[in-house]
Chains A and B, each alone.
Chain A
Amino acid sequence: MEVGTGKVHRVAGPVVQATGLKSHMYDLVLVGEEGLMSEIIGIAGDKHVIQVYEDTAGVKPGEPVKETGAPLVAQLGPGILTSIYDGIQRPLPKLVEASGNFISRGLFVDGIDHKKKWEFTPVVKKGDKVEPGQTLGTVQEQLLIKHKIMMPPGKRGTVKEIHSGNFTVEDTICVLEDGTELPMIQYWPVRRARPSRAKQAPTIPLRTGQRVIDGFFSLAKGGTAAIPGGFGTGKTVMQQTLSKWSDVDIVVYVGCGERGNEMADLLHEFPELVDPRTNRPLMERSIVYANTSNMPVAAREASIYTGITTAEYYRDMGFDVMMTADSTSRWAEAMRELSSRLEEMPGEEGYPAYLGARLADFYERSGRVTTLEGTEGSISIVGAVSPPGGDFTEPVTQNTLRITKVFWALDSKLTQRRHFPSINWLDSYSLYDLTLEPWFVENVSPDWNKNKRRAMEILQENAELEEIVMLVGSDALPEDQQLTLEVARMIINFWLAQSAFHPVDTFCPYKKQFDLLKAILSFRDHAFEALARGIPTDVILKTPSKDALAKVRLLEDYEPELNKVLAQMESEFKTMS
């Protein structure tokens, strides 16, 4: 398409109307004398409707609108890892260099460095037939991360020339017989999903090291989870914790319309924390998008797409990727704000009618897949939802729950009791439960699922008993029920509760999760047996080993202590009378 220039007709906040354009939907245009990055989001009669990614103060009717002839794209190539971007993939540290501590307008900065040279090692040779997605060669992007330079999707041919050595991302590293010159960099329109060959079943769990998640409501690799909760219930802490400890190769953290100080916290912490799997700084496997609440809403709207596109790119190399979005509600609100400026027919609570469709499109980009090349990669998505007033009946939560397979319901009552993670164990669910069971049997313990169900039953019974206790006090309950209450309390306080800030307890391996729960259940069995022998509940509850169990989870090398406590328990019950 030939690129032309139109004129601004109207400016109202982040939405601009322009005349004289030929651009298509979602094409990028540059608005005004300053050339503000913008995107076509509607066409009505002779006018194009444009959302501007930057502040529009001062823009006047009559100013030029320059077409680019292309949609908003992500720049994909070596150098993405460790980056910190705004919602349209501008590296924030580069913006500091260019314009100081406050973000100013009209700056264009490449998503990846176009000058830096990378050592490219080819894996194909002259005469090879190459298919879409096939690896042409590799670049050691980080110490432990080998970046595959792949054929762009939709492109095939025969290698005429392939180079090896040090190149910038723009240099040609391969020429095809048809004359196509391929650089390492790829440009991909962010609103379009990158293709893969086939979706795989979600049969492998994503290990998070969080007991309530791995043990009760586990997420599969390639799965989707929603984490809704009122303010201060722990969404951000959970997403940061998952980003730190999950067993994935790459983490894409999208801070979408949230706090600046939180991003500062993350940016200070990630370079210092070490990935337990690789002993390398977490930052080396991370990509951060920080489009905070005070940054332009249109860029906030784009950030989710830019984020998922980079996630797909690494998935295509065969990596397991996790993307967290904090918060998808702010994303939905950005849509609502733009939609209302467009004077579209509002749907429920002012959200546009396409809210559900957009959410679905986004979550659909997750999955464990066979890549174009035939390797296996995955994207798991964890989306925070911030329902107004903590009320889950609102449209964003409801639309999200229709799509995501895991629901971690944060409960402000638990938050108030300072029980963290405040995931409600009665309301939450994982639809991957059954498909993942065989994996746990095979890889952790044949009893994994059985113990989990036993613990769940105890908690359910506990919930019913608690209602009675509220009315009559616990002393009025029969002895066995009092025991159940106590065992439930142990499960809740010693096992479900897990401080994200405790140096050891922040991450709990599968085996430890299993052993701890097993120990609590074994206390239960001893206790009921003792009760059957006629020993009164208050004697049973005074068992010192019960309280000793509380602190085992705080130990890194927990096994000797746990064995000691279990042995103690054994002998205490034997001699109890």
Chain B
Amino acid sequence: MTKEYKTINEIKGPLLFVEKTEPIGFNELVEIRTETGELKRGQVLDTSNEVVVVQVFEGTGGLGKESTVKFTGDVIKMPLSPDIIGRVLSGSGQPRDGGPPIVPDVSKDISGAAINPAAREKPRAFIQTGISTIDGTNTLVRGQKLPIFSGAGLPHNDVALQIARQAKALGEAESFAVVFCAMGITNEEAQHFMADFERTGALERAVVFLNLADDPAVERLLTPQLGLTTAEYLAFDLDMHVLVIYTDMTNYCEAMRQMGAAREEVPGRRGYPGYMYTTLAIQYERAGIITGKKGSITQFPILTMPGDDITHPIPDLSGYITEGQLIVSRELHRKGIYPPIDIRPSLSRLMNSGIGAGHTREDHRAVSDQLYAYYAEGCDLRGLVAIVGKEALSERDRLVLEFADAFERKFVNQGRDEDRSIFDTLDIGWNLLSALPETMLTRIDDHLIKKYHPRYRKKE
């Protein structure tokens, strides 16, 4: 039997220091009961013969020296069964939808062991999101982790929702199961997500974890672990393709910083803990495909860059772990373009393995490169035009400049409910490129031009 203790010696921020215990295991789940009978949960961070340090997820408010501490002798586990699909849970996994507790088929350790690299399958299955700037130029594949780097006040949530609604594999009717983890977002944002899930019926294939801005920050440290444990269950036990969306990673990292400060750790860059890279990696690396398993986990983390600064530790460390990034641009947003994804700093590192003949279409790589090259050149020319004026441009440069404008209006810009097929996306690309003389299409092989260029296709 597990003993109960009333030997709390110190409470500091989210931490409890408990003395005179039996030997307690590292990382054990702890149950703490206040004098009024309220139950809180925590986890052992440091254990020795003298003192056990516990971090309390629901906050230490209401706890005192008289509170009782029970060490469960087990690590934190997530109860799982197929019934979890469609449920709305709190950031620490308790029902938040008024429904009954989950009756588990299995309970899984939420810390999630590392996938053996030798058991990983190379991700290569194209996912169609219906968004041209993703499908066309920054293609997502199953098993990838591709974050959205955004800024405060930008429509990243709409982009995420659109992806959740539209994501599908080519030629497969079956859509993705969605695990949605909210960390520290406002009630209003949460409503927005929930309303959309309900409107589109997405909730029927989703599991939602909600930790809101006024929920305890420490609880946030659990949320992605619970979400990803659920995702692993759906993917590798129930053979589903799972899309995990979490927002906002920045709030998660802030909670980590807060915990580090409470533990009086030596801070790393800008006050964030030195182990933040590893902690983030442990979450992000839970994306992937395992040899011989039918399911997959694709991750779509959203983070807002403090001060729109991409060198801030949160986007910086994320970029070092994820397989590319989509950048939401304030400038495009100001111009009224939706989704305001700037393709220039965006990148999908796994794009190559998911496109081309057999995946999307043979001209995909070439069209994408050509669009990218002239859009980037056009954007540079805008800078020059501001100095020397449009008149100073050569004929060719003027065409490129016009191309960049048209690209933003026709390719980047699309409706919030507009679900473009990859073929539509590529054809829009071709139409834009056909405004340029054929000799300028240097990145596209002649045989592809003959096959897909609108000029030749009309003749058919």
A→B interface (CB under 8 Å) = 9-13, 17, 55-63, 84, 92-93, 95-96, 100-104, 230-232, 255, 257, 259-261, 263-265, 267-268, 290, 292-295, 297, 330, 333, 336-337, 340, 346, 349-350, 386, 388-391, 416-418, 470-473, 475, 501
- B316 contact from A57, A231, A473, Cβ within 8 A: A231
Asked if residues A84 and B118 are in contact (CB atoms below 8 Å), the reply is yes
For the complex, what is the distance from the CA of A213 to the CA of B64, rounded to whole Å? 65
Q: Which residue of A95, A259, A388 has the most chain B CB atoms within 10 A of its CB atom? A: A259
B313 at the interface (CB under 8 A from A): yes
For the complex, what is the distance from the CA of A417 to the CA of B380, rounded to whole Å? 11
Contact A473:B274 (CB < 8 A) given known A264-B122, A418-B373: no
- Which single residue of chain B is at the shortest CB-CB distance from A57? B27
B384 at the interface (CB under 8 A from A): yes
Asked if residues A264 and B45 are in contact (CB atoms below 8 Å), the reply is no
Asked if residues B372 and A96 are in contact (CB atoms below 8 Å), the reply is no
For the complex, what is the distance from the CA of A358 to the CA of B347, rounded to whole Å? 34
- Which single residue of chain B is at the shortest CB-CB distance from A472? B388
In chain B between 248 and 292, which residues have their CB closer than 8 angstroms to a CB of chain A?
265-269, 274-275, 277-278, 281-282, 285-288, 290-291
For the complex, what is the distance from the CA of A265 to the CA of B354, rounded to whole Å? 13
Contact A11:B48 (CB < 8 A) given known A292-B285, A350-B268: yes
Contacts of A290 in B (CB 8 A): 117-118
- A267 contact from B115, B118, B392, Cβ within 8 A: B118
A528 to chain B, nearest CB (A): 23
Contacts of A231 in B (CB 8 A): 316, 319-320
B120 at the interface (CB under 8 A from A): yes
For the complex, what is the distance from the CA of A391 to the CA of B352, rounded to whole Å? 29
For the complex, what is the distance from the CA of A349 to the CA of B120, rounded to whole Å? 35
Asked if residues A293 and B281 are in contact (CB atoms below 8 Å), the reply is yes
A573 to chain B, nearest CB (A): 22
Query: Looking at chain A's contact residues, is the secondary structure mostly helix, strand, loop, or mixed?
Result: mixed
A554 to chain B, nearest CB (A): 11
Contact A293:B278 (CB < 8 A) given known A232-B349, A350-B267: yes
Which 3 A-B residue pairings sit nearest by Cβ, starting from the closest? A389-B311, A293-B281, A10-B48
- A57 contact from B26, B285, B287, B293, Cβ within 8 A: B26
Contacts of A62 in B (CB 8 A): 23, 49
For the complex, what is the distance from the CA of A292 to the CA of B25, rounded to whole Å? 26
Contacts of A389 in B (CB 8 A): 311-313, 316
In chain B between 330 and 387, which residues have their CB closer than 8 angstroms to a CB of chain A?
344-345, 347, 349-350, 352-353, 369, 372-373, 376, 384, 387
- A350 contact from B122, B266, B352, B372, Cβ within 8 A: B266
Contact A260:B117 (CB < 8 A) given known A60-B24, A391-B311: yes
For the complex, what is the distance from the CA of A62 to the CA of B25, rounded to whole Å? 10
B→A interface (CB under 8 Å) = 23-28, 45-49, 75, 109, 111-123, 143-144, 236, 265-269, 274-275, 277-278, 281-282, 285-288, 290-291, 293, 311-313, 316-317, 319-321, 323-325, 344-345, 347, 349-350, 352-353, 369, 372-373, 376, 384, 387-388, 392
Contacts of B116 in A (CB 8 A): 92, 95-96, 100-103
Contact A259:B285 (CB < 8 A) given known A101-B290, A264-B120, A416-B344: yes
Asked if residues A102 and B115 are in contact (CB atoms below 8 Å), the reply is yes
- Which single residue of chain B is at the shortest CB-CB distance from A351? B274
- Which single residue of chain A is at the shortest CB-CB distance from B291? A101
Number of residue pairs across A and B with beta carbons under 8 Å?
Answer: 192
Q: Would you mind naming 12 contact pairs between A and B with Cβ atoms under 8 Å apart?
A: A57-B26, A57-B75, A58-B26, A96-B119, A102-B113, A255-B117, A257-B281, A260-B117, A261-B144, A264-B122, A292-B281, A293-B281
Query: Looking at chain B's contact residues, is the secondary structure mostly helix, strand, loop, or mixed?
Result: mixed
Asked if residues B278 and A297 are in contact (CB atoms below 8 Å), the reply is yes
- B321 contact from A11, A267, A293, Cβ within 8 A: A293
Asked if residues A261 and B122 are in contact (CB atoms below 8 Å), the reply is yes
Asked if residues A58 and B114 are in contact (CB atoms below 8 Å), the reply is no
Contact A61:B344 (CB < 8 A) given known A10-B49, A388-B269, A473-B392: no
For the complex, what is the distance from the CA of A267 to the CA of B117, rounded to whole Å? 9
Q: Which residue of B112, B114, B317, B372 has the most chain A CB atoms within 10 A of its CB atom? A: B114
- B350 contact from A92, A261, A267, Cβ within 8 A: A261
- A56 contact from B26, B109, B144, Cβ within 8 A: B26
Contacts of A333 in B (CB 8 A): 274, 277-278
Asked if residues B274 and A350 are in contact (CB atoms below 8 Å), the reply is yes
A300 to chain B, nearest CB (A): 9
A179 to chain B, nearest CB (A): 41
Asked if residues A268 and B27 are in contact (CB atoms below 8 Å), the reply is no
Contacts of B344 in A (CB 8 A): 416
Contacts of B23 in A (CB 8 A): 60-63
Asked if residues A9 and B269 are in contact (CB atoms below 8 Å), the reply is no
Asked if residues B114 and A292 are in contact (CB atoms below 8 Å), the reply is yes
Contact A11:B290 (CB < 8 A) given known A96-B119, A259-B285, A340-B265: no
Asked if residues B282 and A261 are in contact (CB atoms below 8 Å), the reply is no
For the complex, what is the distance from the CA of A323 to the CA of B228, rounded to whole Å? 35
Asked if residues B47 and A264 are in contact (CB atoms below 8 Å), the reply is no
Contacts of B317 in A (CB 8 A): 388
Contacts of B372 in A (CB 8 A): 418
For the complex, what is the distance from the CA of A265 to the CA of B144, rounded to whole Å? 13
For the complex, what is the distance from the CA of A471 to the CA of B386, rounded to whole Å? 11
A273 to chain B, nearest CB (A): 14
- Which single residue of chain A is at the shortest CB-CB distance from B309? A389
A207 to chain B, nearest CB (A): 26
- A93 contact from B118, B274, B376, B384, Cβ within 8 A: B118
- Which single residue of chain A is at the shortest CB-CB distance from B325? A232
- Which single residue of chain A is at the shortest CB-CB distance from B350? A261
Contact A259:B321 (CB < 8 A) given known A9-B49, A104-B113: yes
- Which single residue of chain A is at the shortest CB-CB distance from B267? A350
For the complex, what is the distance from the CA of A93 to the CA of B118, rounded to whole Å? 6
For the complex, what is the distance from the CA of A103 to the CA of B116, rounded to whole Å? 6
- A55 contact from B111, B319, B373, Cβ within 8 A: B111
For the complex, what is the distance from the CA of A337 to the CA of B267, rounded to whole Å? 11
Asked if residues B120 and A60 are in contact (CB atoms below 8 Å), the reply is no
Contacts of B275 in A (CB 8 A): 297, 337
- B352 contact from A101, A259, A337, A501, Cβ within 8 A: A501
A168 to chain B, nearest CB (A): 24
Asked if residues B27 and A56 are in contact (CB atoms below 8 Å), the reply is yes
- Which single residue of chain B is at the shortest CB-CB distance from A296? B114
For the complex, what is the distance from the CA of A390 to the CA of B345, rounded to whole Å? 14
- A58 contact from B28, B236, B325, B353, Cβ within 8 A: B28
For the complex, what is the distance from the CA of A454 to the CA of B236, rounded to whole Å? 59
Asked if residues B324 and A232 are in contact (CB atoms below 8 Å), the reply is yes
Asked if residues A388 and B120 are in contact (CB atoms below 8 Å), the reply is no
Contacts of B281 in A (CB 8 A): 257, 292-294
Contacts of B236 in A (CB 8 A): 101
Contacts of B384 in A (CB 8 A): 470, 473
Contacts of A391 in B (CB 8 A): 311
Contacts of A264 in B (CB 8 A): 117, 120-122, 288
For the complex, what is the distance from the CA of A231 to the CA of B349, rounded to whole Å? 11
Contacts of B123 in A (CB 8 A): 261
For the complex, what is the distance from the CA of A349 to the CA of B392, rounded to whole Å? 49
For the complex, what is the distance from the CA of A361 to the CA of B285, rounded to whole Å? 31
Asked if residues A261 and B323 are in contact (CB atoms below 8 Å), the reply is yes
Contacts of B27 in A (CB 8 A): 56-58
Contacts of A292 in B (CB 8 A): 114, 117, 281, 285
Q: Which residue of B49, B117, B143 has the most chain A CB atoms within 10 A of its CB atom? A: B117
